[in-house]
Amino acid sequence: MKLQILIATLLAASATSAIAATYNIDPTHTYPSFEADHMGLSVWRGKFDKTSGTVNLDTAAKTGALDVKIDASSIDFGFDKMNSHAKGADMFNVEKFPTITYTSKSFKFEGDKLVAVDGELTLLGVTKPVALKVNKFKCIMHPRLKREVCGADASAEFKRSDFGLNYGLPNFSPEVKLAIQIEAIKAD
Protein backbone atom coordinates (compact mmCIF):
# COMPACT_ATOMS: atom_id res chain seq x y z
CA MET A 1 0.00 0.00 0.00
CA LYS A 2 2.84 2.41 0.85
CA LEU A 3 4.48 1.65 -2.50
CA GLN A 4 1.23 2.44 -4.34
CA ILE A 5 0.92 5.77 -2.52
CA LEU A 6 4.55 6.59 -3.35
CA ILE A 7 4.04 5.72 -7.03
CA ALA A 8 0.81 7.74 -7.18
CA THR A 9 2.56 10.72 -5.56
CA LEU A 10 5.48 10.51 -8.00
CA LEU A 11 3.12 10.25 -10.98
CA ALA A 12 1.12 13.24 -9.76
CA ALA A 13 4.31 15.24 -9.25
CA SER A 14 5.62 14.38 -12.71
CA ALA A 15 2.26 15.22 -14.30
CA THR A 16 2.24 18.59 -12.55
CA SER A 17 5.81 19.37 -13.55
CA ALA A 18 5.02 18.39 -17.13
CA ILE A 19 2.43 21.18 -17.15
CA ALA A 20 4.94 23.74 -15.86
CA ALA A 21 6.59 25.56 -18.74
CA THR A 22 8.96 28.39 -19.53
CA TYR A 23 7.90 31.11 -21.95
CA ASN A 24 10.20 33.66 -23.57
CA ILE A 25 8.84 37.18 -23.73
CA ASP A 26 8.17 38.21 -27.31
CA PRO A 27 9.82 41.63 -27.68
CA THR A 28 7.73 42.40 -30.78
CA HIS A 29 4.48 42.08 -28.81
CA THR A 30 5.47 43.45 -25.39
CA TYR A 31 5.44 47.17 -24.60
CA PRO A 32 5.33 48.48 -21.04
CA SER A 33 3.73 51.92 -21.19
CA PHE A 34 3.12 54.60 -18.59
CA GLU A 35 1.31 57.87 -18.01
CA ALA A 36 1.55 60.75 -15.56
CA ASP A 37 -0.37 63.97 -15.07
CA HIS A 38 1.29 67.22 -16.21
CA MET A 39 0.14 70.16 -14.05
CA GLY A 40 -3.47 69.04 -14.38
CA LEU A 41 -3.35 70.20 -18.01
CA SER A 42 -2.65 66.97 -19.83
CA VAL A 43 -1.52 63.41 -19.37
CA TRP A 44 1.92 62.53 -20.74
CA ARG A 45 2.32 59.01 -22.04
CA GLY A 46 5.35 56.98 -23.00
CA LYS A 47 6.50 53.44 -23.55
CA PHE A 48 9.60 51.29 -23.70
CA ASP A 49 10.31 49.62 -27.03
CA LYS A 50 12.79 46.92 -25.91
CA THR A 51 11.73 44.28 -23.41
CA SER A 52 13.03 40.76 -22.77
CA GLY A 53 12.71 38.05 -20.16
CA THR A 54 10.98 34.85 -19.18
CA VAL A 55 7.77 33.65 -17.59
CA ASN A 56 7.61 30.32 -15.78
CA LEU A 57 4.03 29.17 -15.47
CA ASP A 58 2.33 26.16 -13.96
CA THR A 59 -1.42 26.61 -14.33
CA ALA A 60 -2.17 23.28 -12.63
CA ALA A 61 -0.25 24.24 -9.49
CA LYS A 62 -1.32 27.89 -9.90
CA THR A 63 2.24 29.16 -9.58
CA GLY A 64 4.57 31.23 -11.65
CA ALA A 65 7.64 33.38 -11.82
CA LEU A 66 8.43 36.39 -13.94
CA ASP A 67 11.74 37.97 -14.90
CA VAL A 68 11.45 41.05 -17.12
CA LYS A 69 14.23 43.31 -18.35
CA ILE A 70 13.48 46.66 -19.96
CA ASP A 71 16.09 48.61 -21.91
CA ALA A 72 15.75 52.06 -20.31
CA SER A 73 17.26 53.75 -23.38
CA SER A 74 14.32 52.51 -25.47
CA ILE A 75 12.00 55.05 -23.82
CA ASP A 76 9.67 56.72 -26.31
CA PHE A 77 7.35 59.65 -25.62
CA GLY A 78 6.78 60.20 -29.35
CA PHE A 79 8.80 63.42 -29.03
CA ASP A 80 12.56 63.24 -29.75
CA LYS A 81 13.53 66.14 -27.47
CA MET A 82 11.65 64.59 -24.54
CA ASN A 83 13.16 61.16 -25.28
CA SER A 84 16.68 62.63 -25.13
CA HIS A 85 15.95 64.48 -21.90
CA ALA A 86 14.34 61.41 -20.28
CA LYS A 87 17.51 59.38 -20.91
CA GLY A 88 19.62 61.96 -19.04
CA ALA A 89 20.92 61.95 -15.47
CA ASP A 90 18.01 63.91 -13.98
CA MET A 91 15.42 61.37 -15.13
CA PHE A 92 16.11 57.72 -16.13
CA ASN A 93 19.91 58.12 -16.12
CA VAL A 94 20.28 55.34 -18.70
CA GLU A 95 24.08 55.58 -18.71
CA LYS A 96 24.25 54.58 -15.04
CA PHE A 97 21.04 52.47 -14.95
CA PRO A 98 20.60 50.92 -18.41
CA THR A 99 18.11 48.27 -17.30
CA ILE A 100 14.79 48.41 -15.46
CA THR A 101 13.71 45.04 -14.04
CA TYR A 102 10.56 43.45 -12.70
CA THR A 103 10.76 40.10 -10.93
CA SER A 104 8.13 37.97 -9.25
CA LYS A 105 7.67 34.55 -7.75
CA SER A 106 4.08 35.20 -6.68
CA PHE A 107 1.19 34.70 -9.11
CA LYS A 108 -2.39 34.90 -7.84
CA PHE A 109 -5.22 32.92 -9.40
CA GLU A 110 -8.98 32.97 -8.94
CA GLY A 111 -9.94 29.51 -10.05
CA ASP A 112 -8.07 28.97 -13.31
CA LYS A 113 -7.79 32.69 -14.04
CA LEU A 114 -4.54 34.58 -13.39
CA VAL A 115 -5.57 37.85 -11.71
CA ALA A 116 -2.45 39.37 -10.13
CA VAL A 117 1.31 39.24 -9.87
CA ASP A 118 3.17 40.50 -6.81
CA GLY A 119 6.72 41.45 -7.63
CA GLU A 120 9.52 43.95 -7.31
CA LEU A 121 10.37 46.77 -9.67
CA THR A 122 13.97 47.99 -9.82
CA LEU A 123 14.29 51.49 -11.24
CA LEU A 124 17.30 53.80 -10.81
CA GLY A 125 18.92 51.16 -8.60
CA VAL A 126 16.00 51.21 -6.12
CA THR A 127 13.87 48.07 -5.62
CA LYS A 128 10.31 48.34 -4.32
CA PRO A 129 7.24 46.09 -4.39
CA VAL A 130 4.79 46.76 -7.22
CA ALA A 131 1.66 44.65 -7.66
CA LEU A 132 0.32 44.05 -11.16
CA LYS A 133 -3.40 43.59 -11.72
CA VAL A 134 -3.92 41.13 -14.57
CA ASN A 135 -6.90 42.45 -16.53
CA LYS A 136 -6.77 39.79 -19.23
CA PHE A 137 -4.85 36.52 -19.62
CA LYS A 138 -5.02 33.80 -22.23
CA CYS A 139 -2.89 31.03 -23.71
CA ILE A 140 -3.44 29.58 -27.19
CA MET A 141 -1.74 27.33 -29.69
CA HIS A 142 -0.43 30.01 -32.05
CA PRO A 143 -1.54 29.20 -35.63
CA ARG A 144 1.66 30.48 -37.25
CA LEU A 145 4.27 29.58 -34.63
CA LYS A 146 2.77 26.13 -33.89
CA ARG A 147 3.67 26.66 -30.22
CA GLU A 148 1.74 27.81 -27.22
CA VAL A 149 1.71 31.57 -26.71
CA CYS A 150 0.38 33.27 -23.60
CA GLY A 151 -0.62 36.90 -23.45
CA ALA A 152 -1.74 39.31 -20.80
CA ASP A 153 -2.83 42.86 -20.23
CA ALA A 154 -1.73 44.14 -16.84
CA SER A 155 -1.84 47.43 -14.98
CA ALA A 156 -0.31 48.97 -11.88
CA GLU A 157 0.29 52.26 -10.12
CA PHE A 158 3.28 53.50 -8.14
CA LYS A 159 5.00 56.69 -7.08
CA ARG A 160 8.07 57.42 -9.18
CA SER A 161 9.44 59.52 -6.33
CA ASP A 162 9.73 56.29 -4.27
CA PHE A 163 12.43 55.27 -6.77
CA GLY A 164 14.20 58.63 -6.79
CA LEU A 165 12.74 59.81 -10.09
CA ASN A 166 11.94 63.30 -8.83
CA TYR A 167 12.35 65.43 -11.96
CA GLY A 168 9.58 67.98 -12.44
CA LEU A 169 7.88 67.46 -9.09
CA PRO A 170 5.33 68.72 -8.28
CA ASN A 171 4.38 69.84 -11.83
CA PHE A 172 4.57 66.31 -13.14
CA SER A 173 2.67 64.06 -10.77
CA PRO A 174 4.66 61.51 -8.75
CA GLU A 175 1.91 58.95 -9.43
CA VAL A 176 2.54 56.81 -12.49
CA LYS A 177 0.05 54.47 -14.10
CA LEU A 178 1.41 51.46 -15.94
CA ALA A 179 -0.29 49.57 -18.75
CA ILE A 180 1.59 46.51 -19.91
CA GLN A 181 0.75 44.26 -22.81
CA ILE A 182 2.84 41.14 -22.89
CA GLU A 183 3.06 38.02 -25.03
CA ALA A 184 5.38 35.12 -24.37
CA ILE A 185 6.18 32.09 -26.51
CA LYS A 186 6.62 28.64 -24.98
CA ALA A 187 10.29 27.67 -25.05
CA ASP A 188 11.35 24.55 -26.95
Residue 108's pLDDT is: 97
CA distance 121 to 118: 10
Given pLDDT bands bounded at 50, 70 and 90, which one contains residue 4? very low
Q: Which residue type sits at 5?
A: I
Give Cα separations from 98 to 78, 87, 162, 164 (angstroms). 20, 9, 19, 15
pTM for the complete prediction?
0.86
Quick check: 134 and 154 in contact, CB under 8 A? yes
Instruction: Give the residue from 154, 157, 148, 149 showing the smallest Cα distance to 128.
Output: 157
**Mean pLDDT of the 176-187 span:** 96
Burial of 111 (0-12, 13-18, 19+ CB in 10 A): exposed
CA 168-45-39 angle, 5° bins: 40
Q: How far apart are the first and last CA of the chain?
A: 38
Determine the 3-state secondary structure of 122 from DSSP.
Answer: strand
Instruction: Give the residue from 105, 101, 99, 100 showing the smallest Cα distance to 117.
Output: 105
170 prior amide bond cis, ω within 30: yes
Q: Tell me the domains of the chain and their CATH numbers.
A: 21-186 (2.40.128.110)
Lowest mean per-residue pLDDT among 25-29, 40-44, 159-163 = 40-44
Residue 112's pLDDT is: 85
Q: Select the more confidently predicted residue: 51 or 171.
A: 51
H or E element that contains 86: helix 80-87
Q: pLDDT tens, 56-97?
A: 999 899 999 999 999 999 999 999 999 999 999 999 999 999
